[in-house]
Structure 1
Amino acid sequence: MNKLQRCRAPIYEMLEQYRIMGNRSYHVPGHKNGEAYDGVEGAGFLDEVMKYDVTEISGTDDLHHPEGVIKEAQELAADCFGAEESFFLVGGSTAGNLALILTACPEPGMIMIVQRNVHKSVIHGLMLAGVRAVFLEPLIDPLSGLSVAPAAEAVKAALAAYPEAAAVLVTMPNYYGMGSDLAPLARICHDSGVPLLVDEAHGAHYGQHPALPAGALTSGADGVVQSTHKMLTAMTMGAMLHVQGPRLDRALLRQRLAMVQSSSPSYPMMASLDLARRLLHSRGKGAFTAGLAAVDVLRRGLAELPRYGLVQPAEPLHRNTPPDSLAAYVTQDPFKVVIYDATGVLSGFELQRRLEAKGCVPEMSDDRHVVLLLSLGSKAEDADLLLQALREIDSEEPSISPHTVSKPDSRNNSTWNNFHSLQISAPVPFSLKPVSANEIESIDLEHCMGRVAAEMVIPYPPGIPILYPGEVITDQIQRRLAGLAKGGAKFQACADPVLQRIEVYNIQKGGEA
């Protein structure tokens, strides 16, 4: 596409024209271009966006059968992100993950090879599709104790053990911006005739600047889901699904997308996806200049604050030695700055609380680390304010009560259950069948060791299940859950959101290991 086309934003331009025309609405939505809020408190907040909040009428096109501006916008997105075809998602990356799984495994009982530390939306997709999941343990970065992605050898072995597998699904990068080389995984999948699906929710910006890691599409992935709202500039819930190659049934994928997405998609959200793409297309590498400068200010400032450690890939032993492409952790998103208190005094949770008290709100924390997220929208003064807050926290150390933080190791993983010795699991059946109330009981977390979980336990963020129903709760898992609960982690999916109690299967129903 030529430069003039790339500078267009077809959906936004259509909505702007709709607003200017000022036609009278005799259709949904019921707010009637925001007029229902005239004279009502809060009208100022809603006034502008509601003028652009339309529905499928003449000229606005249809997300589920695009022929006009939405079709053009998606074609521009494919050109920008290097896909053969791109689809706008108004339900976040969740909708894309669900659609990919339902496409790759169209019949219950099919096998999919899945990285174990996946987002909860992947687990939900496995349930919806009735998949038998073969879980792969990810490699662990020994310096931080954090998990990244499965080894290429593990993927190859799993495909050899389960040649009937329909697809392989991995996450890259992880919530901490850490990654490894996807190209070997793509080659192994394609040699076996199966697609590589990648949850690239946190990597929508990848490949758009030399300072950023390569994207999953460039590495050979067949289906890639990106949260355009996370690291780029779309509205929250705005995401994209990109596909290439012959290994995914595109017609079935469209049908699955229609199943999991609203039949009344948000036009302001789609316009924000259109504008986020246009920003990259029109500015190119220059879109990241200010944000990368802010990252540089922050990293240089951290180098002068020895109290705070920084998670980053290990340096090669020799300057001219390239990074090991098979290592657990070889790429880092520069916009994800992951720090920890190297003195061991402040946990990640406590450091986050202290930063928030000073007006600096991190992305997330675990019991050791704090994830500080910058983007192309960040500025040098953002980095300066953050560094000032960190300096103040450092100077306040005498008033801080000592708190022991366990050192990172491969059994103290911050984001998921990494306590199994097997690299490749047996197939785990997933279904939508609910657990009967008479099969389960709620017990104190401290007494759950050896019992079988009857619910999913998901620290959020990052939204990666530590437990799923049917999994045995080992001593290490129990201690991990107790540590997260004590540190103030927030949980989803479990009956007790503060995780003082946990639901397990009754012993008479096979609920004891």
Structure 2
Amino acid sequence: MPTDPRGLRGDAPLLDAWLRFGERPPSPFTIPGHKQRHDLVGDVVAGDVPLYAGLDTMKLSSGVLADAEARAARLWGADFCRFSTGGATHANQAVALAVAGDGDRVVVSRTLHRSLLLGLVLAGLTPVWVRPEVDPATGLPLGVAPATLRRALTANPDVRAVFVGDPSYVGTVGDIAGLADAAHEAGVPLVVDAAWAAHFGFHPDLPRHPLQLGADVMVTSAHKTLPAWSQAALVLARTGRVDAARLDAGVEATATTSPAGAVLASTDAARALLRRDGHALLRRDGHALLGDAIAATREARDRLRGVDGLTVLDGPGVDPLKLTLLLFGTGADGNLVERDLLAAGLPVESADRDVLVAVVSLADTPASLTRLTTVLADSVRRHRGAPRPVVGPAVYGVDPVTSMPPRQAFFAATETVPAERAVGRVCAELVAPYPPGIPVLAPGEQVTAAALAALDQARRAGVRIAYAADPSLRTLRVVTKRAGRADAAR
């Protein structure tokens, strides 16, 4: 029987509906086809309750989804909220469709996620790229500087919106308040892909979330740092500079018509957990859980700083619940360290030769973090070698040469050619050393000798090449010459 261990259901209409379904299971003559039977394919379908004719009637007459979304909007201080069962990927693409139209230009941080690139493709938007600052001591991105954004907006007064990703994948936090001021001075909305920031703003030791800092739209993933099902995400907005009806249309245009009720209910439950009311009988104080996780992470950082040569990312510009470690000074190979962690049943979010990232959430405990740091420290010491230099930000300083909009490059006829023969051709794929995840090439950009040299330098330094069809960089996907000539003729 489904349970509600923290007494959330009274403040979580979708969770309440999901629990009621389990308490009084019907004999459905609707989808899904397993009809709640577990004897056919097993418990893999346990908890799979649809929204339509599950959490609500087929006509959505109970309004539980709208109620839950309204509660989330109030919690985050938004005018608009929609839940997504397609993750921040769906949410980013929905927002891209909503804030501008086919052929419009938008400012986009060069640290874009693939989902936003596809959002640009779907909406027919052309990016004006801005590059984040990169810390020379670590090689990691620090966020786009407000001055950089102001220069881009002054040089491109026709742009319709600004898109940035913050915090970064490695946990660095930028100046969202400064970016909001810059965007608003130019009369355009600031959209923040805050996929990794669902916990921000709910504890005094955490950064404030983007809407609190002046952003107009915030996309966040409930499943990344909150206890929600995979693919749970939210679109939250203040509607002074964006059209709520267009946002709603963008969500509907790109969403499934069969949303998973368990994903929706878990989003609602995670939201209710964050809502602090101090009622001891409810046992749902997410604030206290966050505080415990932050304290445990702080202690973990202190332990790891005792490993000679290991750099532990920390400070006011870092997410207190992201454990990012740089292995340059230890000489250890992060891939070997990851192998030891996997053998110990401790998978981490990301590991390459030089950088290891572990995600901590309010579900973690001091015991789990102690176990992680013990195995990790032992592994680093075991694989220690000669210190390596930091892969400097110069690797990511190649200026893009745009030859066609991303949408046209994405849908154009393409071919795969040896990398050396790709110079002068139009790239058809996204190619980014990761971290910091700043693309050296994006669809629609000209492949230059400088770009290939930068990518080769990163690859030789042991940095993972992300997104490319051929991560060895022996080949690249480019637009065919005929397709490129046809575009130029248009």
**TM-score category, normalised to shorter length:** 0.7 to 0.9
Instruction: Note the aligned Cα RMSD (angstroms).
Output: 3.1
**2:78 corresponding residue in structure 1:** 83
SS of the residue corresponding to residue 343 of structure 1 reads: helix
**2:23 corresponding residue in structure 1:** 20
Does the CA contact (< 8 Å) of 1:347 and 1:369 recur in 2? no
Q: CA deviation at 1:293?
A: 2.9
| Amino acid aligned to 2:17 | M
Within 5 Å, give how 1:31-430 maps onto structure 2: 31-33=34-36, 35=37, 37-38=38-39, 40=40, 43-46=42-45, 48-50=46-48, 53-57=49-53, 60=56, 68-105=63-100, 107-281=101-275, 282-313=284-315, 331-397=317-383, 402=385, 405-412=388-395, 418-421=396-399, 429-430=405-406
**2:449 corresponding residue in structure 1:** 474
Q: CA deviation at 1:448?
A: 5.2
Q: CA deviation at 1:98?
A: 0.8
Q: CA deviation at 1:245?
A: 3.5
Q: CA deviation at 1:484?
A: 3.9
Query: What's the CA shift string for 1:242-268, capped at 9, x where partnerless?
Result: 001311111111111111000111101
Change beyond 3 A, Cα 1:451–1:347: farther
SS of the residue corresponding to residue 112 of structure 1 reads: strand
| Amino acid aligned to 1:300 | D
Change beyond 3 A, Cα 1:454–1:375: same
| Amino acid aligned to 1:99 | A
| Amino acid aligned to 1:10 | P
Which shifted more, 460-469 or 275-284? 460-469
Does the CA contact (< 8 Å) of 2:293 and 2:362 recur in 1? yes
Which shifted more, 345-354 or 66-75? 345-354
Distance between the aligned counterparts of 1:140 and 1:6, measured in 2?
45
Query: What's the CA shift string for 1:34-79, capped at 9, x where partnerless?
Result: x2x42x4x51343x313xx13413870689x886111111111112
Distance between the aligned counterparts of 2:117 and 2:318, measured in 1?
26
Q: CA deviation at 1:284?
A: 4.3
| Amino acid aligned to 2:303 | G
Show structure 1 runs of 5+ residues with no match: 314-329, 413-417
Q: CA deviation at 1:487?
A: 4.3
Q: CA deviation at 1:307?
A: 3.2
SS of the residue corresponding to residue 503 of structure 1 reads: strand
Q: CA deviation at 1:24?
A: 1.6
Q: CA deviation at 1:381?
A: 1.2
Q: CA deviation at 1:168?
A: 0.7
- Residue 453 (1) aligns with residue 424 (2): no
Distance between the aligned counterparts of 1:261 and 1:506, measured in 2?
32
Does the CA contact (< 8 Å) of 1:110 and 1:166 recur in 2? yes
Does the CA contact (< 8 Å) of 1:419 and 1:477 recur in 2? no
Change beyond 3 A, Cα 1:45–1:133: closer
| Amino acid aligned to 1:220 | G
Change beyond 3 A, Cα 1:455–1:184: closer
Distance between the aligned counterparts of 2:463 and 2:32, measured in 1?
41
TM-score, normalised to structure 2, is: 0.86
Change beyond 3 A, Cα 1:475–1:59: closer
Does the CA contact (< 8 Å) of 1:132 and 1:427 recur in 2? no
Q: CA deviation at 1:488?
A: 8.2
Which shifted more, 448-457 or 232-241? 448-457
Distance between the aligned counterparts of 1:166 and 1:66, measured in 2?
37
Q: Equivalent pairs: percent with the same residue?
A: 29
Query: What's the CA shift string for 1:285-337, capped at 9, x where partnerless?
Result: 21213312321221121132223111234xxxxxxxxxxxxxxxx52101111
Query: What's the CA shift string for 1:346-371, capped at 9, x where partnerless?
Result: 23334333333333211113442111
TM-score, normalised to structure 1, is: 0.83
Show structure 2 runs of 5+ residues with no match: 1-6, 276-283, 486-490
Q: CA deviation at 1:150?
A: 1.7
| Amino acid aligned to 1:370 | L
Distance between the aligned counterparts of 1:6 and 1:81, measured in 2?
19
Distance between the aligned counterparts of 1:449 and 1:344, measured in 2?
37
Query: What's the CA shift string for 1:476-502, capped at 9, x where partnerless?
Result: 54453574488484744x443654432
Q: Flag the structure with more relative contact order, 1 or 2, with Cα contacts below 8 A and sequence separation at least 6.
A: 1
Q: CA deviation at 1:23?
A: 2.1
Which shifted more, 276-285 or 92-101? 276-285
Does the CA contact (< 8 Å) of 1:367 and 1:405 recur in 2? no
Q: CA deviation at 1:120?
A: 0.7
Distance between the aligned counterparts of 1:6 and 1:55, measured in 2?
17
Does the CA contact (< 8 Å) of 1:74 and 1:86 recur in 2? yes
Does the CA contact (< 8 Å) of 1:294 and 1:382 recur in 2? no
Distance between the aligned counterparts of 2:411 and 2:262, measured in 1?
39
Q: CA deviation at 1:452?
A: 4.3
Change beyond 3 A, Cα 1:420–1:67: farther
Does the CA contact (< 8 Å) of 2:430 and 2:441 recur in 1? yes
Change beyond 3 A, Cα 1:61–1:277: farther
Change beyond 3 A, Cα 1:290–1:475: same
SS of the residue corresponding to residue 268 of structure 1 reads: helix
Q: CA deviation at 1:450?
A: 5.9
Which shifted more, 11-20 or 345-354? 345-354
Distance between the aligned counterparts of 2:352 and 2:177, measured in 1?
30
Distance between the aligned counterparts of 1:122 and 1:66, measured in 2?
34
Does the CA contact (< 8 Å) of 1:120 and 1:458 recur in 2? no
Distance between the aligned counterparts of 2:180 and 2:404, measured in 1?
23
| Amino acid aligned to 1:82 | G
Distance between the aligned counterparts of 1:362 and 1:448, measured in 2?
36
Does the CA contact (< 8 Å) of 1:450 and 1:475 recur in 2? no
| Amino acid aligned to 1:289 | G
SS of the residue corresponding to residue 74 of structure 1 reads: helix
Does the CA contact (< 8 Å) of 1:452 and 1:473 recur in 2? no
SS of the residue corresponding to residue 133 of structure 2 reads: coil
Distance between the aligned counterparts of 1:357 and 1:335, measured in 2?
24
Change beyond 3 A, Cα 1:507–1:77: closer
